[in-house]
Structure 1
Amino acid sequence: MSQNPPEMELQPADLFLNRELSLLEFNRRVLEQSKDETVPLLERLKFLCIASSNLDEFFEIRVAGLQQMVELNPNQRLPDGIMPQEMLGAISVRAHALVDEQYRVFNDVIVPELEKERVRFLRRSEWTQEQDSWLRKYFSDELLPVLSPMGLDPAHPFPRILNKSLNFIVSLSGKDAFGRNTAFAVVQAPRALPRLIQIPKDVAGTGPHDFVFLSSVIHAYVDDLFPGMEASGCYQFRVTRNSDLLVDEEEAEDLIAALEGELSQRQWGDTVRLEVAHNCPEQMSQYLMDVLQLTPADVYSVNGPVNLMRLMAIPDMVDRPDLKYPTFTPRIPKALAGGDIFSVVRERDVLLQHPYDSFMPVVEFLRQAARDPKVLAIKQTLYRTGAKSLVVDALIEAARAGKEVTVVIELRARFDEADNIDLAEKMQDVGAHVVYGVVGYKTHAKMCLVVRREETGLRHYAHLGTGNYHPRTARMYTDYGLFTADAAMCKDVHAVFLQLTSLGKVSKLKYLLQSPFTLSKGMHAKIEREAENAKKGKPASIIAKMNGLVEPEIIQSLYKASQAGVQIDLIVRGMCALRPGVKGLSENIRVRSIVGRFLEHQRVLYFQNGEEPEVYLSSADWMERNLFRRVEIAFPVLDKKIRERIIDQLQSYLADTAQSWFLHADGVYKRAEKPEGKGVQIKLLEESQS
Structure 2
Amino acid sequence: MNNKFFNRELSWLAFNERVLLEATDPNLPLLEKLKFIGIFSSNLDEFFMIRVAGLIDQMKSGYNKRDLSGLTPSDQLSKIREKVLALIKKQSDIFSEILTKLNKEKVFFNLDYDLFPIDSIFFNEILPVITPITISPANPFPFIHNLNINIFSTVKKDGEIFHSIIIIPGSLKRFFIFQQGESYYIFLTETIIQRFLKFIYPNFEIVESFLFRITRNADLNFHSEEVEDLYKEIQNSLIKRAVGSPVRMEVLGRFQKESISMLMEEFELNEDGLYEVNEIIDYKFLINIDIPMDKHRYPGIKKSSLNLNKKKFIFNYIKNNDILLFRPYNDLTFVSQMVSEAADDPDVIAIKMTLYRANKDSSIIKSLEKAALAGKHVCVVIELKARFDEEKNLEWAKKLEHAGCIVSYGFVDLKIHAKALLIVKKEKGKIVRYTHLSTGNYNELTANLYTDIDFITSNDAIGSDVVNLFNFIMSYSDPLGWNELIVAPIYLREKLYNLIDNEIENAKKGSPARIIVKLNSLYDEALTLKLYEASAAGVQIDLIIRGICSLVPGVKGLSENIKVKSIIGRFLEHPRVLYFHNKGSYKIFLSTADWMIRNLDKRVEVLFEIKNHKLKEKLYDYLQLNLKDNQKSWILSQNGIYKKQIAKSDRLNLQEEMQKLTFIL
TM-score scaled by length of structure 2 = 0.97
Corresponding residue number in structure 1 for 2:145: 162
C-alpha displacement at 1:207, in angstroms?
5.9
Which of 86, 92, 104 aligns to 1:97? It is 86
2: CA distance, partners of 1:526 / 1:465: 21
2:105 to 89, 108, 117: 117
What is the SS of the residue equivalent to 2:3?
helix
Which of 493, 503, 515 is the equivalent residue of 1:520? 493
CA pair 657-534 structure 1, distance change in 2 beyond 3 A: same
For 1:2-401, what aligned pairs fall within 5 Å after superposition?
A: 13-107=2-96, 109-123=97-111, 126-128=112-114, 130-131=115-116, 134-175=117-158, 181-199=160-178, 201=180, 208-314=183-289, 316=290, 318-333=291-306, 340-401=313-374
Deviates more, 1:138-147 or 1:445-454: 138-147
Per-residue CA deviations over 1:604-628 (Å, capped at 9, x if unaligned) read 0011111211111011100111000
Q: Distance in 1 between matches of 2:306 and 2:336?
A: 14
Asked if structure 2 preserves the Cα contact closer than 8 Å seen for 1:333 and 1:357, the reply is no
Aligned-pair distance for 1:226?
2.0
Report the CA distance between 1:143 and its aligned residue.
1.4
Which letter maps to 1:135? I
Using the alignment, how far apart are the partners of 2:310 and 2:269 within structure 1?
58
2:608 alignment partner, SS class = strand
2:485 matched to 1:485? no
Contact 1:215/1:305 (CA < 8 Å) preserved in 2?
Answer: no
SS in 2 for 1:76: coil
DSSP-derived class of the 1:14 partner: coil
* Paired AA for residue 190 in structure 1: P
Distance 2:127 2:344 in 1: 53
The 5 A counterparts of 1:534-683 are: 534-676=507-649, 680-682=653-655, 683=657
Report SS of the residue matched to 1:494: helix
Contact between 1:550 and 1:624, CA under 8 Å: does it hold in 2?
A: yes
Cα pair 1:60 1:242 within 8 Å, conserved: yes
Matched, 1:503 2:480: no
- 2: CA distance between counterparts of 1:283 and 1:665? 45
Structure 1 position 534, deviation (Å): 0.5
The CA deviation at 1:53 is 0.6
The answer to whether the Cα contact below 8 Å between 2:352 and 2:423 also exists between their aligned partners in 1 is: yes
Task: Give the 3-state SS of the residue equivalent to 1:75 in structure 2.
Answer: coil
What code does the residue aligned with 1:113 have? K
Whichever residue aligns with residue 530 of structure 2, its letter is: S
Q: Hey, what does 1:424 align to over in structure 2?
A: 397
Aligned to 2:448: 475
Q: CA, structure 1 residues 356+338, in 2 after alignment: closer, same or farther (shift >3 Å)?
A: farther
Contact 1:465/1:481, CA 8 A, preserved across alignment: yes
- Consecutive unaligned residues of structure 1, counting only runs of 5 or more, are 1-11
Matches of 2:143 and 2:153, distance apart in 1: 16
Deviates most, 276-285 or 593-602: 276-285
SS in structure 1 at match of 2:418: coil
CA distance in 2, matches of 1:386, 1:536: 51
Amino acid at match of 1:489: I
Contact 1:335 / 1:344 at 8 angstroms: preserved in 2? no
Seen in structure 2, the aligned counterparts of structure 1 residues 241 and 36 have a Cα distance that, compared at 3 Å, is same
| Equivalent residue letter for 1:184 | H
Quote the Cα distance in structure 1 between the aligned partners of 2:197 and 2:651: 49
Identity of aligned residues (%): 39
Structure 1 residue 213 displacement after superposition: 1.2
Shift of residue 438, structure 1, vs aligned partner: 1.1
The amino acid of 1:37's aligned partner reads P
Alpha-carbon offset, residue 681 of structure 1 = 4.4
Q: Is the 8 A contact 2:312 2:341 kept in 1?
A: no
Distance 2:302 2:628 in 1: 25
When the two chains are superposed, the root-mean-square deviation of aligned CA atoms in Å is: 1.7
Instruction: Give the partner amino acid of 1:546.
Output: L
Q: 1:581 to 1:506 in 2, by over 3 A?
A: same
State the distance in 2 between where 1:669 and 1:624 align.
Answer: 24
- Post-superposition shift, 1:162? 0.5
Match of 1:610, SS?
A: helix
Deviates more, 1:665-674 or 1:376-385: 665-674
Q: How big is the shift at 1:283? A: 3.0
Answering whether residue 505 of structure 2 is matched by residue 532 of structure 1, we say yes
Distance of 1:158 and 1:65 partners within structure 2? 27
Residue 251 (structure 1) shift: 1.8
Question: In structure 2, do the counterparts of structure 1 residues 678 and 648 end up closer, same or farther at CA, with 3 Å as the change threshold?
Answer: closer
CA distance in 2, matches of 1:74, 1:265: 23
Secondary structure at the counterpart of residue 497 of structure 2: helix
Contact 1:535–1:565 (CA<8 Å) still a contact in 2?
A: yes
Shift of 1:145: 1.4
- Give the 3-state SS of the residue equivalent to 2:27 in structure 1: coil
Structure 1: distance between partners of 2:455 and 2:314 = 13
> Is this contact kept in 2: 1:334–1:689, CA < 8 A?
no
The 1:48/1:663 distance shift into structure 2, 3 A limit, reads: same
What do residues 371-405 of structure 1 show as CA deviations (whole Å, max 9, x unaligned)? 11111100000000022211101111111111100
Task: Read off the aligned partner of 1:56 and give its amino acid letter.
Answer: D
Q: Deviations over 1:260-279 (max 9, x none)?
A: 11212322211111110143
What is the number of equivalent residue pairs in this alignment? Answer: 663
Contact 1:445 1:619 in 2 (8 A): yes
